[in-house]
Structure 1
Amino acid sequence: MAQTKLEARSPLMEAAVGFALGAVGGCILGATEDPVDKTLAVMTTVEPLKPVMEEVRIVGALGLGTLIGATALTTAMTSVVAGVILAAAVASVFVATRSCGASHTHSVGLWASAGLAGAFGTALSGATLGVAVEWIVKNYGMVGLLWALSIFSVLKPPLHFVFKFLWKQGEACCTLGSETLARERKQIEITESQQRQRVAVQIEQRILTLEKGGSNSGMEHQTTWANERRQREEIERKKMESEEAEMEQRTIQDWINSVVVKHVDFLAFSGIPMTVVAVVTSGFGVFGYGGHPSVFIVLLVLVAVIAYLLLKSSDFKFWMLVGCMGMLATFVIAMLTLHAGQVVVTTAMKMQAAGQKQSREKISARMNHQSCLEALNAAFFVAKLCQLGLGATVGGPLVRRAAGEVKVIVGAALLAGGLLAVVEVLAPALGEGGKAGALLGVVGAAGVSVGAAAAVAGRWSTWPGTLGTIAGLVIGALGMGKGHIVNIGLQVPVAYVFAMTNPF
């Protein structure tokens, strides 16, 4: 769909409206900062880190970084796609049964129901995956997590064909709901036919009256013809509205199907590159080569080869782009994990040169602790960026499809705020893993609002509107985010880039 400018206003009005809309998206983004940071702080304390620290000796620093990074990104991607698919299913049923194009009220109901389902699905799936990852790590360690991630990645491609088949069957069932429009169209045709027959009878009666020498100027006939004309105009109006509603219904359903197909492909294939990297580097660690320099060389070559093959593809798709980005993010996490351990070694060597000797066991324990700490911090932050960006890829296209910038920005912000409150209330029952996954889902819902605001910034007819929206987004995020300049400074550009991307 071609991008169109927003309704023209005065530059000052555009700046004010843009600032308000941007501030809404920025505030909900900033509101997620503190809860996420607190959850991460709890997860990186000594007790939760013990199961991870015990396993770092097995898979090595690089293996630990790639494994935790791939798991965090897989969790983030899966929860977003689950939310999008649930929202699409609800929207599809709503479109088929309520003929949303017939009235503005139905359109509002469509976006509200789909948004609620998407936000709930993202948070719930995130919490479920978080609990599952936490349980696997505590009971089976990193090797168990490696097996779970590998099995999940292997099962996704065949399952996505099954899901597409089931979606088509569900779509066929939903089309039965179009009988409402069919009945309306049939009723209009019957009414139109009856009106034509009635007019034909009246014409015949009028002809007979004239043949018998009757009057041709009675008020009764003029009134009759005026009523018939009004009825004809009313029938034409209803017929046009029905055709427009049916066309709108078909257009929305086709777009929903396109969204589902793209996201199912994305879920099935985008995680494979980073899973391959995690399996290879962790495999080196399991076989006793976790700290060997060759692991770094193999990792670098593997990332370069996979990225080259994906980017060289003649049929480049959205999942390939995100797959490359996820793999590169996993590589960065692995480098940060390795670097954290090397910093400990460097510090120990400087202390030893200064006469402060430390035991090898103490240095090794500090290396493992720092590596685990860095792996979790980096993986969680990258997963949050991924969740925010994928949410923005939903919000941006919605605004460009004229879904209503106010509805998308404010509605997504309210849903994210409500989910944030629910997660805080249910935190004791969710546990740390479940809470972390649910909060990532909240970030995804906030990303819809931020992405919509970013898309609005590019659609104003004047620069004041664009700059006002950006200023509101940044100021709102910094204000509610308690001045986390580095985090916000990285998240806003990521949200903007993904909002401008059209994967559909």
Structure 2
Amino acid sequence: MGQTKLGARSPVLEAAVGFALGAVGGCILGATEDPVDKTLSVMTSSGLLKPVIEEVRMVGALGLGTLIGTTALTTAMTSVVAGVILAAAVASVFVATRSCGTSHTDSAGLWASAGLAGAFGTTLSGATLGVAIEWIVKNYGMVGLLWALGIFTVLKPPLHFVFKLLWKQGEACCTLGSADWVREREQIEITELQQRQRVAVQIEQKILTLEKGGNTSGKEHMTTWVAERRQREEIEKKKTESEEAQMEQRTIQDWINTVVVKHVDFLAFSGIPMTVVAIVTSGFGVFGYGGHQSVFIVLLALVAIIAYLLLKSSDFKFWMLVGCMGMLATFVIAMLTLHAGQVVVTTAMKMRAAGQSQSRETISARMNHQSSLEALNTAFFGAKLCQLGLGATVGGPLVRRAAGDSKVIVGAALVAGGLLAGVETLAPVLGEGGKAGALLGVVGAVGVSVGAVAAMAGRWSSWPGTLGTLAGLVIGALGMGKWHIVNIGLQLPVAYVFAMTNPF
């Protein structure tokens, strides 16, 4: 469906409405800043950071950065796709079992049920993956995490084909509901046939009466013909409404199927480039070359080759784009991790020049600590950006499909707020890993609202509406986010770019 302008209003009213809706999306984005920062602070405390520090010597700084970065981004991608698939399944069942109507698009029940299912699925999936990763790291270290990531990546492509077969079977079961359409169409045809037969009998009776020389009452026949015409019009109206509702149902179901197929492909293949990079760099570390300069050269060459092969593909797909972006993000996280350790060395050299010498063991311990700290910080922030962007790719198309700007923006914000409160309440049960994963899921729901705001900003018929929407988004995010200008300043452009991308 092509993008259309919003209904004509005065520029001042457009600016006011846009500012209010933009502020809703911005405020819920800013509201996630403090809980995420607190969770990250606990994760990077000495107790939870210790298992990571112990494994830096095993995989090296570059290996640690790529491994943690890939794990965080894979968690974000998986949880978003899980939420989208659950939402699509609920929407598909809702559409298939819905009673006939002229428009399913405007049905609040459809979008509300799908939105709740998607947000809950994303949050629950994130929490589950967070708990699993925390358990693996504590019990098996980074090598165990590397094995788990590799096995998960290998299993995704075959599971992708299995899921597609299961989805087709489920879709076939849902289409059994089309028997309702058949029964209704048959009932309309029977009613129409009966009406025609009744009119034919009345005409024959009138002809016979005239042939016998009888007298017919014009007023009586006029009343009969008016009633018959009215009934015929009602039959035609019911037939038209049934056809329109059935066509609308098929359109929505086709769109749902497209969304599911694209996201399943995205889940199956987009993580492969990142995982290959993590396995190669971590493998160098396991075999004792974690700190060698050749690892950096191999990493750079590997990223360049994979990106070139994906980008030159004649059949370029959305998962390839996100795969390249995720691989680049992993490379940046690895660079920052390596740089953090080098900063410690540089500082130690300056101290030695000033006469404050430190032992090699102390410098090594500080390097490992700083590298681990940087790896977790940057990986978690990268996962947050990924989650926000992928959520925006859902919110943007929903608005462009005329699902209702205010419904998507406010609905997603309310759901995200409820989930945020629920995660804070269940924090003792979830643990730090589960809470971190669940918060990433909440950020995905926030991304839907922010993406809807971004899409709505481009659909106003005047510049004041667009500028008012963007102003509300920025001010709301900064105000609720305690003026974390750098963090929010990076998140908003990412959400805008993904919201304007149409992966379907």
TM-score range, shorter chain: over 0.9
1: CA distance between counterparts of 2:220 and 2:298?
95
- Cα drift, residue 179 of structure 1: 1.7
> 2:310 is aligned with what amino acid?
L
Matched, 1:102 2:102: yes
Q: How does 1:6-405 map to 2 (within 5 A)?
A: 6-99=6-99, 101-102=101-102, 107-405=107-405
TM-score, L = length of structure 1 = 0.99
2: CA distance between counterparts of 1:99 and 1:453?
31
- Cα drift, residue 492 of structure 1: 0.6
- Cα drift, residue 220 of structure 1: 1.6
- Cα drift, residue 314 of structure 1: 0.4
Residues 123, 437 of structure 1: 8 Å contact kept: yes
- Cα drift, residue 365 of structure 1: 0.8
Residues 106, 403 of structure 2: 8 Å contact kept: no
1: CA distance between counterparts of 2:6 and 2:446?
23
Residues 64, 282 of structure 1: 8 Å contact kept: yes
1: CA distance between counterparts of 2:372 and 2:249?
51
1: CA distance between counterparts of 2:435 and 2:18?
33
Residues 101, 249 of structure 1: 8 Å contact kept: no
Classify 1:460/1:9 alpha carbon distance in 2 versus 1 (closer, same or farther; 3 Å).
same
2: CA distance between counterparts of 1:202 and 1:54?
95
1: CA distance between counterparts of 2:433 and 2:481?
23
2: CA distance between counterparts of 1:337 and 1:416?
32
2: CA distance between counterparts of 1:371 and 1:492?
28
> 1:58 is aligned with what amino acid?
M
Residues 389, 494 of structure 2: 8 Å contact kept: yes
- Cα drift, residue 357 of structure 1: 1.0
* Structure 2 unmatched runs, 5+: none
1:476 matched residue in structure 2: 476
Please identify, of 1-10 and 87-96, the stretch whose mean Cα deviation from structure 2 is larger. Answer: 1-10
Render the CA deviation track for 1:194-234: whole Å, top value 9, x for unaligned.
Answer: 11111111111111122222334432211111111111111
Classify 1:196/1:268 alpha carbon distance in 2 versus 1 (closer, same or farther; 3 Å).
same
Classify 1:105/1:157 alpha carbon distance in 2 versus 1 (closer, same or farther; 3 Å).
closer
Residues 99, 178 of structure 1: 8 Å contact kept: no
2:451 matched residue in structure 1: 451
Residues 87, 114 of structure 1: 8 Å contact kept: yes
1: CA distance between counterparts of 2:68 and 2:42?
17
1: CA distance between counterparts of 2:54 and 2:190?
77
2: CA distance between counterparts of 1:267 and 1:105?
27
Render the CA deviation track for 1:329-370: whole Å, top value 9, x for unaligned.
Answer: 000000000000000010011011101111111111111110
2: CA distance between counterparts of 1:27 and 1:215?
80
* Structure 1 unmatched runs, 5+: none
1: CA distance between counterparts of 2:117 and 2:210?
67
Q: Percent identity?
A: 88
Residues 25, 446 of structure 2: 8 Å contact kept: yes
- Cα drift, residue 178 of structure 1: 1.7
Residues 99, 181 of structure 1: 8 Å contact kept: no
Q: How does 1:411-430 map to 2 (within 5 A)?
A: 411-430=411-430
2: CA distance between counterparts of 1:187 and 1:139?
65
Render the CA deviation track for 1:230-288: whole Å, top value 9, x for unaligned.
Answer: 11111111111000000000000000000000000000000000000000000000000
Residues 281, 299 of structure 1: 8 Å contact kept: yes
2: CA distance between counterparts of 1:6 and 1:392?
20
2: CA distance between counterparts of 1:100 and 1:469?
36
Please identify, of 401-410 and 104-113, the stretch whose mean Cα deviation from structure 2 is larger. Answer: 104-113
- Cα drift, residue 100 of structure 1: 6.6
Please identify, of 92-101 and 306-315, the stretch whose mean Cα deviation from structure 2 is larger. Answer: 92-101
1: CA distance between counterparts of 2:125 and 2:488?
25
Three-state SS of the structure 2 residue aligned to 1:160 is helix
Please identify, of 475-484 and 101-110, the stretch whose mean Cα deviation from structure 2 is larger. Answer: 101-110
> 1:267 is aligned with what amino acid?
L
Classify 1:104/1:303 alpha carbon distance in 2 versus 1 (closer, same or farther; 3 Å).
closer
Three-state SS of the structure 2 residue aligned to 1:23 is helix
> 2:262 is aligned with what amino acid?
K
Classify 1:101/1:40 alpha carbon distance in 2 versus 1 (closer, same or farther; 3 Å).
farther
> 2:77 is aligned with what amino acid?
M
> 1:435 is aligned with what amino acid?
K
2:438 matched residue in structure 1: 438
1:495 matched residue in structure 2: 495
- Cα drift, residue 24 of structure 1: 0.9
Residues 95, 104 of structure 2: 8 Å contact kept: no
Instruction: Please report the RMSD computed on the Cα atoms of aligned residues, expressed in angstroms.
Output: 1.0
Residues 100, 246 of structure 2: 8 Å contact kept: no
Residues 389, 498 of structure 1: 8 Å contact kept: yes
Classify 1:105/1:81 alpha carbon distance in 2 versus 1 (closer, same or farther; 3 Å).
closer
2: CA distance between counterparts of 1:210 and 1:268?
78
> 1:148 is aligned with what amino acid?
A
Residues 59, 286 of structure 2: 8 Å contact kept: yes
Residues 100, 249 of structure 1: 8 Å contact kept: no
> 1:75 is aligned with what amino acid?
T
Classify 1:100/1:273 alpha carbon distance in 2 versus 1 (closer, same or farther; 3 Å).
farther
Residues 100, 242 of structure 2: 8 Å contact kept: no
Three-state SS of the structure 2 residue aligned to 1:316 is coil
Three-state SS of the structure 2 residue aligned to 1:3 is coil
Residues 101, 107 of structure 1: 8 Å contact kept: no
